[in-house]
Structure 1
Amino acid sequence: MASSLTKDSASTPGSEKTFFGHPRGLATLFMTEMWERFSFYGMKALLPLYLVAPGGMDMNAATATAIFSIYMAMVYLLALPGGWFADRLWGPRKTITIAALVIMLGHLTLALPGQAMFFLGLVFVAIGSGLLKANISTMVGHLYNGPDDPRRDGGFTVFYIGINLGAFFAPLAIGTVGEKVNWHLGFAIAAFGMGLGLIQFLLGGRHLSPQSSVVPKPVPRAELMGLVRKAMLWIIAAVVFYGVAVATDVYTLNWAIVPITVSGLLIPIWVLTKIKRDKSLNDTEQSKMTAYIWFFVAAAIFWMIYDQGASTVALFGKNSTDTSIFGFDFPVSWFQSVNPVLIMAMAPVVAWIWLALNRRGQEPNSVVKFASGLFLVGISFFVFLIPLSMAGDGDKVGAYWIVAIYFVHTIGELCVSPVGLSVTTKMAPEKYASQMLGVWFLAVTAGDCTTGLLSIAGVDLNKSGVVAMEATMAIIAAVAVFMYRKKVKALMGDVH
């Protein structure tokens, strides 16, 4: 999933040379994002497999799924403070530089043996990814003369291709080396990819907009010092608490992952409640926020199932799928290259369908598109039930079943992700305009944390009954959104 909407821009760097008709700075950001996505999706493909591998962490599937889900949730949760650091402290360009260094450090730490190094590396990668996620898209917007620049949409399309190119090649390179040669070497290649992205970013910095170096709303020193003091108090409290737990030999992994998972569910609720109860919002903004909560809850259900494509479905692929084609046995991590290929192939088709329906006056509104995406992700898990039942006696199923699940996932994503990003920016109250993209990412956090809690509770997510329950829940949610589409549309006001 990738963001393609940003804050408004104000300036374009002066340069006669272009990148496919776009400002030269787009090439810099294209390559930076491509290599960052290479490292991120390589890590995503490798992580669940490493967690369960005897030569890796040798965990059971439930613990592996919980850790993977929490990691993904934290990446999206940290996008919110990532935007704050850019807006209030460093500016987008400096924030991205620091983020790339932290991501590189995280992958290098993962390349070192030892459980402590593993979890420390995960923390670094999650922090760095959160810092980078929304800010690089903001910098793409800075290259154009505001939202009405005719090149703007095309620029984000080119940028989106870079995202998916990185996502496609990552499992083929990092996954292959990690699975077939050495897990830690795979993580080291992810660090190398991020390093290439950072070098490209620094060398091409002269082509970027000067606006990307500006701190839009600098935080006053007194306020900053107050925040630092509060952060230090929380850190000291956590160190003392967990230090005592370790010293008294009562500490287990759940002491860390349960509070993080619960926080990942409570923080989105707290943020939405805070915005909704803000008395400074006018009636129109309040109405739009009520409508937005419908989208948010539905999105959380969608991402809960969708992100299991890299955990629950991937682990099923490892244990119960025949990965041989014409005598060639491919690594399980290669399945994670299916989605970006399908995105690049299907995105233009879906866009063409919407345009064709629009010309006939039949294009569905945002609510219906969203319900369709939610319905499709439910269908994908009903499809998942078929290979699950076929593999019940220990038989191997064909790889095409995994591809079929990812195909339905992808069509659903193309209905949900662009619509969610669009309505988030259009329905955002003016007071929270710069924060709402981070709020949208909290839906991913909530969905992944739900998966994490189920895994921590010992629920086997690869059981037919659980998969059927999740699929049914998504279908019911889709039907509910569709049935109340007129009410939600009325609450949205002038947003279409």
Structure 2
Amino acid sequence: MASSLTKDSPSAPAGPEKTFFGHPRGLATLFMTEMWERFSFYGMRALLTIYLISGGPDASKGLQGGGLGMDLATTTAIYSIYLSMVYLLALPGGWLGDRLWGPRKTVTIAASTIMLGHLTLALPGTGSFFAGLALVALGSGLLKANISTMVGHLYDGPNDPRRDGGFTIFYMGINIGAFLAPLIIGTVGETYNWHLGFALAAVGMGIGLIMFLLGTKHLSPESSRVPTPLSREERVTWLRKGMTWLLIAAVFYGAVGLSGNFTLNWAMVPLTLAGIVIPAAVLIRIKRDKELSATEQTKMSGYIWFFVAAAVFWMIYDQGGSTVQAFGTTKAAGELFGLGFPSSWYQSLNPVFIMALAPVFAWFWLWLSRRGQEPSTVVKFAAGLFFVGVSFFFFLIPLAMAADGTLVSPMWLVGIYLIQTVGELCVSPVGLSVTTKMAPAKYASQIMGVWFLAVTAGDSVTGLLSIGGVDLGKTGVVALEALLASLAGLAVFMYRRKVRALMGDIH
């Protein structure tokens, strides 16, 4: 990336400040840190489903052995719970950055935790697998909540004309890392050795951590500040509460374990329930806050529509890494145009589609806006739900073709991921924008964590269904999910005037 550094004024006589594509030099540090973190995150995620089913009843004959040999229902539950915890932990991650460590120190701790998690995953054994998965989820939640805040610190307030461009460049780092990871980590892990693949994810995060530490001098001093530090009394109170709950959990699970009754469900069921109850409790707490003005209360009522719609969207969309990935691994041909490839490469499709289509969507919305025809936020959300529903209706075709054991063309998977990406571009950036616009002033710094809770809720529902024995890869279930998303999109569209009225001056 050194070649991309430019100078603001090449003819200046004395040491002009270096910039990164015209942006503060610290953006390069955060860009590279996030790119390598996403490389490690998406690389491990590309292996996760395949590793869990390897050696199990739902694995294809040609798949490398040495995995955990789980059935598809358990695999889907673990995958969904893992993702839901990543987004749930973004909420306490933001709190730790705001109250205890500051964003810069929190990111350092987060990256170290992620690297340790991947190294633990590189060790054989079921115990090390779950310990590593927990560490990666914890570190990812801590980092996710703070690194974007640090990007904002590089600019002179929200009105800095470079700010939006800076976040766009940062977003490209995410997708570059996500695109490369399955091609490298996925190939090594799926083709040669699972644990070597996990070790490569640790190397990626290690590179990101080193680049972050070397580049901290270019970051804003604001990133080291703790915005609202805990008082001594608050520290003692929080420590006491944390130790109390930790002790209760240790005693309870110790007793279950010693009784010989412990199964995986003893851990998975509480986590899925927490992933549904906590988002609902947070929304209820904000909605019932008497300090909010009448206008803010009304906007929160409107925001709940978006939140529920987003939860339905992510419930289906995130199965691209579990249900759809498992289908691609076991029911799709392992070659295209005569060239063989590991099934983990399917996870590179979404980021490459994002990079290709995001500029097109940005141009398209602007083109419609200039003509006074740009769809409202509500209509865009309805379209996103519709497209994710269509992706699962489309999924029904290869499911039917593979029913007799026929291996379908990988192009069916390409089509599913393409349609889902179109839906994502209607929901994700729009949801981020509407979240910041509709946030009550009191919760302005916490609201992004609330938005992430929609992902937690959606994935937790998926996990709960899998734990309950629902086969999410069955034709009837896929059809029901497709219908659910389509009906949710239709409901949002039909009530668009009511939702827009609740949004007040936000459109």
Deviation string 1:159-207 (CA, Å, 9 cap, x unpaired) is 1111000000000111011101110110000000000000000001111
Measure, in 2, the Cα distance between the counterparts of 1:187 and 1:171.
11
* 1:16 paired to 2:27: no
Residue 328 of structure 1 aligns to which amino acid in structure 2? L
* 1:417 paired to 2:428: yes
1:218 matched residue in structure 2: 229
Measure, in 2, the Cα distance between the counterparts of 1:290 and 1:275.
10
Measure, in 2, the Cα distance between the counterparts of 1:242 and 1:18.
53
Report the CA distance between 1:225 and its aligned residue. 1.1
1:380 matched residue in structure 2: 391
Deviation string 1:268-326 (CA, Å, 9 cap, x unpaired) is 00000000011111100000000000000000000000000000000000110012123
After superposition, residues 374-413 of structure 1 pair within 5 angstroms as: 374-413=385-424
Q: 1:434 aligns with which of 411, 435, 445?
A: 445
1:4 matched residue in structure 2: none
Measure, in 2, the Cα distance between the counterparts of 1:286 and 1:219.
29
Query: Superposition RMSD on alpha carbons, in Å?
Result: 0.9
Structure 1 runs of 4+ aligned residues shifted over 3 Å read none
Measure, in 2, the Cα distance between the counterparts of 1:155 and 1:247.
54
* 1:59 paired to 2:60: no
Query: 1:15, 1:24 within 8 Å by CA — same for their partners in 2?
Result: no
Secondary structure at the aligned position of 1:217 is classed as coil
Measure, in 2, the Cα distance between the counterparts of 1:348 and 1:479.
27
After superposition, residues 256-335 of structure 1 pair within 5 angstroms as: 256-335=267-346
Measure, in 1, the Cα distance between the counterparts of 2:339 and 2:430.
40
2:35 matched residue in structure 1: 34
Q: Aligned in 2, Cα 1:426/1:15: closer, same or farther, shift over 3 Å? A: farther
Query: 2:29, 2:215 within 8 Å by CA — same for their partners in 1?
Result: yes
After superposition, residues 116-195 of structure 1 pair within 5 angstroms as: 116-195=127-206
Deviation string 1:359-381 (CA, Å, 9 cap, x unpaired) is 00000111111110011000000
2:484 matched residue in structure 1: 473
1:354 matched residue in structure 2: 365
Residue 219 of structure 1 aligns to which amino acid in structure 2? L
Measure, in 1, the Cα distance between the counterparts of 2:346 and 2:438.
36
TM-score (norm. length: structure 1): 0.97
Deviation string 1:217-258 (CA, Å, 9 cap, x unpaired) is 001111111111111111111111111111111111101100
Q: 1:75 aligns with which of 67, 83, 86?
A: 86
Residue 318 of structure 1 aligns to which amino acid in structure 2? T
Measure, in 1, the Cα distance between the counterparts of 2:239 and 2:67.
37
1:11 matched residue in structure 2: none
After superposition, residues 84-123 of structure 1 pair within 5 angstroms as: 84-123=95-134
Residue 39 of structure 1 aligns to which amino acid in structure 2? S
Query: 1:76, 1:444 within 8 Å by CA — same for their partners in 2?
Result: yes
Secondary structure at the aligned position of 2:459 is classed as helix
Residue 325 of structure 2 aligns to which amino acid in structure 1? A
2:45 matched residue in structure 1: 44
Q: 1:246 aligns with which of 248, 251, 257?
A: 257
2:6 matched residue in structure 1: none
1:5 matched residue in structure 2: none
Query: What number of residue pairs does the alignment pair up?
Result: 483
Query: 1:15, 1:23 within 8 Å by CA — same for their partners in 2?
Result: no
Could you tell me which runs of 5 or more consecutive residues in structure 2 were left unpaired when the two chains were aligned: 1-14, 56-65
Measure, in 2, the Cα distance between the counterparts of 1:134 and 1:302.
22
Report the CA distance between 1:327 and its aligned residue. 2.9
Measure, in 1, the Cα distance between the counterparts of 2:359 and 2:336.
29
Report the CA distance between 1:383 and its aligned residue. 0.4
Query: 1:45, 1:336 within 8 Å by CA — same for their partners in 2?
Result: yes
Q: 1:205 aligns with which of 212, 216, 229?
A: 216
Secondary structure at the aligned position of 1:58 is classed as coil
Query: 1:177, 1:185 within 8 Å by CA — same for their partners in 2?
Result: yes
Measure, in 1, the Cα distance between the counterparts of 2:465 and 2:162.
45
Measure, in 1, the Cα distance between the counterparts of 2:469 and 2:190.
27
Q: 1:491 aligns with which of 475, 478, 502?
A: 502
* Mean CA deviation greater in 15-24 or 215-224: 15-24
Report the CA distance between 1:16 and its aligned residue. 1.5
Query: 1:107, 1:121 within 8 Å by CA — same for their partners in 2?
Result: yes
Among the aligned pairs, what percent are the same residue? 70
1:363 matched residue in structure 2: 374
* Mean CA deviation greater in 29-38 or 141-150: 141-150
Query: 2:336, 2:409 within 8 Å by CA — same for their partners in 1?
Result: no
Residue 238 of structure 1 aligns to which amino acid in structure 2? A
Residue 183 of structure 1 aligns to which amino acid in structure 2? W
Measure, in 2, the Cα distance between the counterparts of 1:259 and 1:461.
21
Report the CA distance between 1:494 and its aligned residue. 1.1
Secondary structure at the aligned position of 1:291 is classed as helix
Query: 2:74, 2:466 within 8 Å by CA — same for their partners in 1?
Result: yes
Measure, in 2, the Cα distance between the counterparts of 1:45 and 1:297.
27
Report the CA distance between 1:134 and its aligned residue. 2.1
Residue 463 of structure 1 aligns to which amino acid in structure 2? K
Query: 1:99, 1:131 within 8 Å by CA — same for their partners in 2?
Result: yes
TM-score (norm. length: structure 2): 0.95
Measure, in 1, the Cα distance between the counterparts of 2:139 and 2:380.
32
Report the CA distance between 1:15 and its aligned residue. 7.0
1:336 matched residue in structure 2: 347
Residue 28 of structure 2 aligns to which amino acid in structure 1? A
